[in-house]
Amino acid sequence: MNIHTAPRQWPAEGLTRVPYWVYSDRDLYEEEMARVFRGNTWHFLCLEAELPKPNTFRTSHVGDMPVVVTRDADGNIHAFENRCAHRGSLLCLRERGEAREIVCCYHNWTYNLEGTLTGIAFRRGIAGKGGMQPDAKPESHAPRKLKVEVFAGLVFGTLGKETPPFESYLGAEVAQRIRRVMRSPVRVLGGYSQMLPSNWKLYMENVKDSYHASLLHMFFTTFRLNRLSQKGGLVVSETGANHISYSMSADVAGKEYEQAGMRSAHDEYRLEAPELLQSVDEFGDGIGLQILTVFPGFVLQQVRNSLAVRRIVPIGLEKTELVWTLFGFETDDAAMTELRLRQSNLVGPAGFISMEDGAATGFVQRGVRGAPDEQSVVEMGGSGTSSEESRVSEAAVRGFWKSYRQQMGF
């Protein structure tokens, strides 16, 4: 499919309209895998802490392409396609582990931890019979290698030949806000994944949409963890690709939600276990919630003291895997670790303030399936993508589409 000659056209209104066919066009999905995921963009692969020592590996994805991330004997980190050069089998079947070399289980072709083919079983045959011809060059079909950058304990990779340097790709303020959270060496606390019945772009829109958080997530507002009346704002990178949404943790005495009759406003509710909401200002800036995204599929969360990274993995046109990894710091004492684990009940597939997202994106996917020529209206906060002090805005959503259109040639 050639995007420039395709019959699909973006609405003339630009960033304030999103055509519904972007969530259900199969040819477009395949083009996204080539242009966005295998193009000049950076993709979160794993936490550096998930490769805790030399000769360890972790599997990941770049779009629909399976990837292996390794730390070699010298401590250097590499990433390459999880595909054997022989018949295309997965090389690593386990999610993580230790290995000095990687051997394909199908025909025992062997690779080092840089992803270089180093051995082929029976290459010369047996007793002078069979095997490969002397001029065979199987290494020419070897797994593709990614360029890797480690930033504040986060491992990112790209296949693009012209991908900007990672910190430039982020933008100065987004880079600073990543360093704010990733302030010291990390300890992995656990993780989980969930399948979303929706196109990958719908979840990325969702996490960039600060406007929905205190309306969809009733727990958020009922217990005053996050209301739009709290001080906060949006930061959108110049390209529109990356964003930060944040709010201060200070409680709000106003009655805006109650007076407006919002379904999420219920002051009469109380928790039987209020210790769930106990938190400390570990960053010293009063920010109780920060959601940060990097285009096309990375999320860094701070919800009180619950810290996590989320990795968005397209599984198909209308199916997405969301991989969560929760972490603390190596310097955390037992009390802080317990606090983080307790607050992990707020997030994730069944979390008190996260469980609705997967359902909501699925509702959109189902709702627009029969209306490909209709459009979303994305006008909250105006029509631009600038940073602002209000979260009653879809500026970061428009920023996503600004970057997406640039990548896709729309």
Please report whether residue 212 resides in a domain.
yes
- The residue segments making up the domain with residue 344 are 171-408
The strands making up 287-294's β-sheet, listed across from edge to edge, are: 186-196, 319-329, 306-316, 298-303, 287-294, 243-248, 232-236
- β-pairing, 186-196 with 154-158? unpaired
Q: Report which of residues 187 and 351 the model is more confident about.
A: 187
Angle value at C-alpha 56, between 329 and 309, nearest 5 degrees: 40
Span 293-307, mean pLDDT?
97
* Same domain for 338 and 287: yes
In the numeric block, which tokens belong to residue 169?
């790709």
Domain boundary among 86, 114, 149: 149
Q: Convert the pLDDT of each residue in 23-32 to its tens digit.
A: 999 999 999 9
* Same domain for 194 and 118: no
Q: What are phi and psi of 174, to 5 degrees?
A: -65, -40
* Same domain for 342 and 270: yes
The contacts of residue 38 (CB under 8 Å, 6+ apart) are 62, 63, 65, 159, 160
* Same domain for 176 and 124: no
Please report whether residue 385 resides in a domain.
yes
Window from 119-123, 251-255, 368-372 with minimum mean pLDDT: 251-255
Please report whether residue 329 resides in a domain.
yes
> Can you give the pLDDT at residue 224?
58
Please report whether residue 118 resides in a domain.
yes
Please report whether residue 160 resides in a domain.
no
Domain boundary among 149, 183, 217: 149
Domain boundary among 117, 149, 181: 149
Please report whether residue 312 resides in a domain.
yes
* Same domain for 368 and 230: yes
* Same domain for 187 and 313: yes
* Same domain for 390 and 299: yes
Percentage of the residues of the chain whose pLDDT score is greater than 90: 73
207 CB burial (10 A radius; 0-12, 13-18, 19+): buried
Is the pLDDT confidence value at 262 over 60? Answer: no
Q: Convert the pLDDT of each residue in 82-103 to its tens digit.
A: 999 999 999 999 999 999 999 9
Amino acid letter, 407: Q
Helix (H) or strand (E) holding 18: strand 17-19
* Same domain for 221 and 291: yes
> Can you give the pLDDT at residue 132?
87
Please tell me the total count of domains within the chain. 2
Indicate the length of the chain as a whole number: 410
My answer on whether omega of the bond before 296 falls inside 30° of 0, hence cis, is yes
Please report whether residue 19 resides in a domain.
no
Closest-CA residue to 405 (of 382, 380, 377, 385): 385
Q: Report which of residues 22 and 261 the model is more confident about.
A: 22
Q: How far apart are CA 147 and CA 162, in angstroms?
A: 11
Q: What is the pTM of this model?
A: 0.91
Binning pLDDT at 50, 70 and 90, where does residue 250 land? low
* Same domain for 248 and 362: yes
Write out 96-127 in H/E/C secondary structure. Answer: EEECCCEECCCCCCEECCCCCEEECCCCCCEC
Q: What are phi and psi of 250, to 5 degrees?
A: -55, 135
Q: How far apart are CA 70 and CA 98, in angstroms?
A: 9
Q: Report which of residues 273 and 311 the model is more confident about.
A: 311
CATH of the domain at 131: 2.102.10.10
Is the pLDDT confidence value at 228 over 60? Answer: no
Please report whether residue 159 resides in a domain.
no
Cα 212 to chain centroid distance, Å, stands at 19
* Same domain for 227 and 109: no
Cα 217 to chain centroid distance, Å, stands at 20
> Can you give the pLDDT at residue 223?
60
Q: Convert the pLDDT of each residue in 26-75 to its tens digit.
A: 999 999 999 999 999 999 999 999 999 999 999 999 999 999 999 999 99
Is the pLDDT confidence value at 5 over 50? Answer: no
* Same domain for 180 and 130: no
- β-pairing, 56-62 with 43-47? unpaired
- β-pairing, 110-111 with 102-103? antiparallel
* Same domain for 389 and 317: yes
Cα 106 to chain centroid distance, Å, stands at 31
Write out 198-227 in H/E/C secondary structure. Answer: CCHHHHHHHHHCCCCHHHHCHHHHHCCCCC
CATH of the domain at 357: 3.90.380.10
DSSP structure string for 42-87: -EEEEEGGGS-SSSEEEEEEETTEEEEEEE-TTS-EEEEES--TTT
